[in-house]
Structure 1
Amino acid sequence: MNKTVLKSMEIIRLFFDEDKLTLLQIMKKTELPKTSAYRMAESLLELGFLEKDKDGTYRLGLIFLALGNLVAERLDIRSIALPYMQELRKETGEAVNLVIRDGNDAVYIEKVDTQERVRVYTQIGRRAPLYGGACPRILLSFTEREERERLIDSFQIVPYAQGTPKDKDELRRLIKETREAGWSISHSELEDHSSAIAAPIFNHKGDAVAGISLVGPEVRFRDEAHVRNMIDKLMNAARHISTELGAEKR
């Protein structure tokens, strides 16, 4: 590999641990001669990778902020999540859904169907209210408080099925339980006799950008030991996806 490029990267990496460095500090840490260290630092400065303060100390340039935002925006959550969704289906036998928020709704953007003969069918592109079902509600639960309350105030709660929250007080109670547990479960909220368990997926900013859920007939989601096992596997998958999106490990 090109030695100049490697040494330039070595200089940039110094700033992963240091806010500012003088030329002398860069020389000591890289063991570069003064002329080489100066030439490389000034080249990085000219390209925008470094900036220089009035006292001559160097720091990372704002170009990294722009590049970081581009990387974050271009990460395809569907492609990142899909292998974990497939593994979840293999481990639990249940269908796996991935949802994101779009306004007042949750939108299903990816799914992995179960191999079981009795199943709950979900179509990609389907919309659901944020107040109904474990996966839509996980997005609502981990929205910032002010935005969450604004959304709740705007809802006209429609009884989609037998278990749909009856009113906003019940919804707030479910949200509180979800935030405390870190996951959500629902029975017959969007469709009668269907159940779901959901967990949030976070990005590098700590925002809940998606929800991942296990979905199936209610009869398979009543055994306490089986549900606990599914929750553990689901939470583990959600943590791994979040980490790949840049979230801090939880």
Structure 2
Amino acid sequence: MQNKNKTVVKAKEILDLFLTYEQLSLQEMSTLSGLAKTTVHRMIGSLEEMGLLAKTAEGKYELGFMFLQFGQLVKERLDIRKIALPVMKQLRDDVEEAANLVIREGNEAIYIEKVDTTQPVRVFTQIGRRAALYAGACPRILLSFMSSQELQKYLEETPLVAYADGTITDKRKLIESIQEAKTRGYTISHSELRNFTSAVAVPIYNYSGQVIAGLSISGLENRFTEQRLPELIEKTVAAGKAISKNMGYLEQ
């Protein structure tokens, strides 16, 4: 606790005032927080510039639209776990493989929900686990549906490091895989994050048509045979569409 940044703490003290008050003037913020008026003036200038506070026509301040964006993201991420879980359980029962749900956080994928397989030997995945966006079917499905500008920036800045024998470390091959995912609506991986494991992943869309998550099934590579893959793909695609529909997405 002693390592808290004092500037950040003061900024939070100012923002906390808006939990009680809808609008506040500079003087009111100074009085209520106990901070010097010059300090508050400096702080709210930065908060306003970042979109965390907004100045009204009357010269007072209120919470900025950035909080609306953050709030919507938090709500959406909580909603998707609740909406996806029953579909994930059914998918797991249908294919007898683990089902995973991931979202993008910066340049990483983070696993936010999982349903373990009933198989005696399983692939271990932990909620909260992070993975590079280029490695593994579920993270890569998120990468595949980035905007072209974001994708180009990511490819230029991200070194492709091998995590297992099948990790794609050639940018040309990665781009080909991304293009295939966009065309097919799913992606497949073999031994990309762990050796002898495979996965099939599909995108999850929200009401506005944005890809907000990835759904995958994963298991041992010897259960993802060429003969079985069409069935696994079909069921995973159907599950992804069901979750997207429940998120308000209307398929074109």
Q: Structure 1 length normalisation: TM-score?
A: 0.70
Q: Which residue of 2 aligns with 1:203?
A: 206
Q: Which residue of 1 aligns with 2:21?
A: none
Q: Which residue of 2 aligns with 1:74?
A: 75
Q: Deviations over 1:182-222 (max 9, x none)?
A: 10000000100000000000111211100000000000012
Does 2:162 match 1:174?
no
| Distance of 1:186 and 1:175 partners within structure 2 | 12
Going from structure 1 to structure 2, the CA distance change for 1:203 and 1:95 (only over 3 Å counts) comes to same
Contact residue 72 and residue 245 of structure 1 kept, 8 A: no
Q: SS of 1:100's equivalent?
A: strand
Going from structure 1 to structure 2, the CA distance change for 1:116 and 1:150 (only over 3 Å counts) comes to same
Which of 239, 242, 247 pairs up with 1:240?
A: 242
Does 2:123 match 1:120?
yes
Q: Which residue of 2 aligns with 1:187?
A: 190
| Distance of 1:126 and 1:94 partners within structure 2 | 19
- Kindly report the root-mean-square deviation, in angstroms, between the aligned alpha carbons of the 2 structures: 1.7
| Distance of 1:142 and 1:163 partners within structure 2 | 22
| Distance of 1:185 and 1:159 partners within structure 2 | 17
Does 2:161 match 1:158?
yes
Q: SS of 1:125's equivalent?
A: coil
How far does residue 249 in structure 1 lie from its aligned partner after superposition? 2.1
Going from structure 1 to structure 2, the CA distance change for 1:111 and 1:204 (only over 3 Å counts) comes to same
* Paired residue type of 1:249: E
* Paired residue type of 1:243: K
After TM superposition, the structure 1 stretch with the greater mean CA deviation from structure 2, 79-88 or 172-181, is 172-181
Q: SS of 1:116's equivalent?
A: coil
Structure having the higher Rg:
1
Correspondences of 1:1-250 after superposition (within 5 Å): 74-75=75-76, 76-222=79-225, 224-250=226-252
Unpaired stretches in structure 2, ≥5 consecutive residues: 1-67
Q: Deviations over 1:128-147 (max 9, x none)?
A: 00000000000000111111
Q: Which runs of 4+ in 1 moved over 2 A?
A: 69-75
Q: Which residue of 1 aligns with 2:42?
A: none
| Distance of 2:71 and 2:248 partners within structure 1 | 13
Q: SS of 1:88's equivalent?
A: helix
How many residue pairs match? The answer is 182
Q: Structure 2 length normalisation: TM-score?
A: 0.69
| Distance of 2:188 and 2:173 partners within structure 1 | 14
* Paired residue type of 1:226: R
Contact residue 188 and residue 194 of structure 1 kept, 8 A: yes
Q: SS of 1:195's equivalent?
A: strand
Going from structure 1 to structure 2, the CA distance change for 1:229 and 1:158 (only over 3 Å counts) comes to same
Q: SS of 1:90's equivalent?
A: helix
Q: SS of 2:214's equivalent?
A: strand
Q: Deviations over 1:76-125 (max 9, x none)?
A: 10000000000001000000000000000000000000010111110110
How far does residue 166 in structure 1 lie from its aligned partner after superposition? 2.1
Q: SS of 1:225's equivalent?
A: coil
| Distance of 1:157 and 1:141 partners within structure 2 | 15
| Distance of 2:125 and 2:73 partners within structure 1 | 28
